[in-house]
């Protein structure tokens, strides 16, 4: 009996430049290749990959459950990444589509995929993009994040827990900003209030935090009760009560887009008093600026990352002086690994909160994110600024 593996195994190898980087188990039980095991549960998995070759097709097949990884997902992705590039060899593709069930119309995209409309970075579209990711479930994010609910790169020293590393990061931000009692801080993209609560309770400053996420605003407002903290559901472009003594924006600038970044930088300058300090913590990407197909479809629609020097140039063009930049990418590896460990330990709770499909999105997101920072394909920087 001819199995699927014997029929198309050589074609799979051809698509990867000569050898598959993983072992593939087909839906008839036959297997081809060596390495981490990838299971194709039906011909629809190959159809996803043929209609959307590369990262997006792989994500769609995995998120829908037609493709699965056995064992360590990060290691499997590491092996795929280390292999030769995917080659759409016409003869190999023709062999694949001759397998019954593979040839057919484009498969429907998973329900978890973002579906936004309208022009990029209008206020309405930005609210929808933020809601897609950050309004998922406060209880879900509590499964993954530490008690501070800091959803950004921590700063580790030897032996630090995630909680200690996040507190260290918040202290460093406050130090960079020179926060003192009586000052007024603006937190642009305040998330669940980690910096706002820390700065108010530990440094004695009054804080205004702004977010487009209704669930973040509700959560942050409740935890800031009794502190000099105001959490607003507001677009940063609509803040009109400056100037502030200090401004922070922690991993929010990625969401404003390439064309919107000069206006974002100008807003930071406008809202900061002369002589005041700002701190931007932001991801960067040297190759293929943007977010990437998976991130943009499933995690952060309309996200844009660029090389550090381009971001610095736009901040300086807005009139801000860059006093210090620091790479934290190696700290993000440990941060994401800690989130991944927490998530893996509570998968059943996650599925109950957000469903099986979105849980698979997050499994892929965390594994891919860990690998991206581990390999240096992305970085994150703290940029300390001053308005002259």
Answer yes or no: are the C-beta atoms of 71 and 367 closer than 8 Å: no
What are the Cα distances from residue 229, in Å, to 114, 138, 189?
32, 20, 14
pLDDT in the model for residue 84: 57
Q: Is the dihedral of CA 210, 215, 218, 220 positive or negative?
A: negative
Q: Rounded to two decimals, what is the model's pTM? A: 0.94
Answer yes or no: are the C-beta atoms of 153 and 369 closer than 8 Å: no
362 in helix, strand or coil? helix
pLDDT by residue for the chain (388 residues), tens only, comes to 789 999 999 888 887 777 888 999 999 999 999 989 999 999 999 999 889 988 899 999 999 999 999 999 999 998 888 775 666 678 888 888 889 999 999 999 999 999 999 999 999 999 999 999 999 999 999 999 999 999 999 999 999 999 999 999 999 999 999 999 999 999 999 999 999 999 999 999 999 999 999 999 999 999 999 999 999 999 999 999 999 999 999 999 999 999 999 999 999 999 999 999 999 999 998 777 777 899 999 999 999 999 999 999 999 999 999 999 999 999 999 999 999 999 999 999 999 999 999 999 999 999 999 999 999 999 999 999 999 9
Count the Cβ atoms, other than its own, within 10 Å of residue 142: 17
Answer yes or no: are the C-beta atoms of 198 and 169 closer than 8 Å: no
pLDDT in the model for residue 16: 78
In whole angstroms, what is the distance from residue 360 CA to residue 62 CA? 7
Compute the half-sphere exposure of residue 27: CA atoms within 13 Å on the CB side of its CA. 14
- Among left, alpha and beta (phi > 0; psi -120 to 50; other), residue 130 is alpha
In whole angstroms, what is the distance from residue 58 CA to residue 69 CA? 11
Strand partners, 209: 187, 231
pLDDT in the model for residue 259: 94
210 in helix, strand or coil? strand
Residue 2 structure tokens? 């001819």
The percent of the chain in helix, strand and coil, each rounded to the nearest 5, is: 45, 15, 35
Residues sharing a CB contact under 8 Å with residue 159, sequence separation 6 or more, in sequence order: none
φ and ψ at 181, to 5 degrees?
A: -55, 140
Answer yes or no: are the C-beta atoms of 49 and 346 closer than 8 Å: no
Residue 108 structure tokens? 């429907």
pLDDT in the model for residue 226: 97
pLDDT in the model for residue 175: 98
Answer yes or no: are the C-beta atoms of 363 and 290 closer than 8 Å: no
Nearest C-alpha neighbor of 326 from the set 190, 181, 216, 172: 172
Helices 261-271 and 308-317, axial angle in degrees (round to 10)? 50
Strands (DSSP E) found in the chain? 23-25, 31-32, 37-40, 67-70, 184-188, 206-211, 229-233, 244-250, 272-284, 321-327, 379-386
What are the Cα distances from residue 62, in Å, to 152, 339, 370?
26, 20, 18
Burial class (CB in 10 A: 0-12, 13-18, 19+), 281: buried
In whole angstroms, what is the distance from residue 166 CA to residue 156 CA? 8
Q: Do the strands 37-40 and 23-25 form a parallel or antiparallel pair, or are they unpaired?
A: parallel
Residue 54 structure tokens? 């590369």
All structural domains of the chain: 4-97 (no CATH), 123-386 (3.40.50.150)
Answer yes or no: are the C-beta atoms of 4 and 63 closer than 8 Å: no
């Amino acid at each position: 009996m001819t199995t699927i593996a014997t029929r198309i195994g050589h074609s799979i190898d051809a698509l990867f430049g000569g050898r598959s980087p993983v072992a593939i188990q087909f839906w008839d039980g036959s297997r081809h290749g060596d390495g981490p095991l990838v299971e194709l549960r039906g011909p629809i998995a190959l159809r996803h990959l043929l209609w959307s070759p590369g990262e997006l097709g792989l994500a769609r097949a995995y998120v829908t459950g037609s493709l699965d990884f056995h064992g360590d997902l990060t290691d499997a992705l590491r092996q795929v990444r280390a292999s030769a590039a995917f080659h759409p060899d016409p003869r190999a593709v023709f062999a694949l589509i001759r397998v019954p069930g593979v040839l057919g119309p484009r498969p429907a995209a998973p329900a978890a995929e973002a579906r936004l409309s309208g022009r990029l970075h209008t206020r309405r579209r930005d609210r929808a993009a933020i809601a897609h990711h950050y309004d998922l479930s406060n209880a879900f994010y509590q499964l993954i994040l530490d008690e501070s609910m800091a959803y950004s790169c921590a700063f580790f020293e030897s032996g630090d827990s995630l909680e200690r590393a996040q507190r260290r990061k918040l202290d460093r931000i406050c130090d960079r900003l020179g926060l003192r009692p009586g000052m007024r801080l603006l937190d642009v993209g305040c998330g669940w209030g980690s910096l706002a609560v820390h700065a108010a309770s530990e440094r004695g400053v009054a804080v205004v935090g702004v977010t487009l996420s209704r669930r973040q605003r509700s959560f942050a407002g409740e935890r800031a009760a009794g502190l000099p903290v105001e959490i607003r559901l507001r677009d940063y472009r609509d803040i009109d009560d400056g100037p502030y003594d200090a401004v922070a924006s922690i991993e929010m600038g990625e969401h404003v887009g390439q064309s919107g970044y000069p206006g974002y930088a100008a807003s930071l300058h406008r809202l900061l008093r002369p002589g005041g300090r700002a701190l931007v913590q932001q991801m960067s990407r040297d190759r293929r600026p943007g977010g990437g197909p998976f991130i943009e479809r499933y995690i952060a629609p309309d996200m844009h990352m660029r090389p550090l020097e381009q971001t610095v140039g736009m901040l300086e063009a807005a009139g801000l002086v860059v006093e210090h930049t620091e790479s934290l990418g190696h700290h993000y590896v440990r941060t994401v690994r800690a989130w991944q460990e927490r998530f893996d330990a509570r998968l059943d709770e996650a599925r109950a909160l957000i469903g099986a499909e979105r849980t698979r999105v997050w499994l892929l997101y965390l594994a891919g994110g860990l690998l991206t920072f581990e390999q240096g394909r992305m970085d994150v920087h703290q940029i300390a600024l001053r308005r002259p």
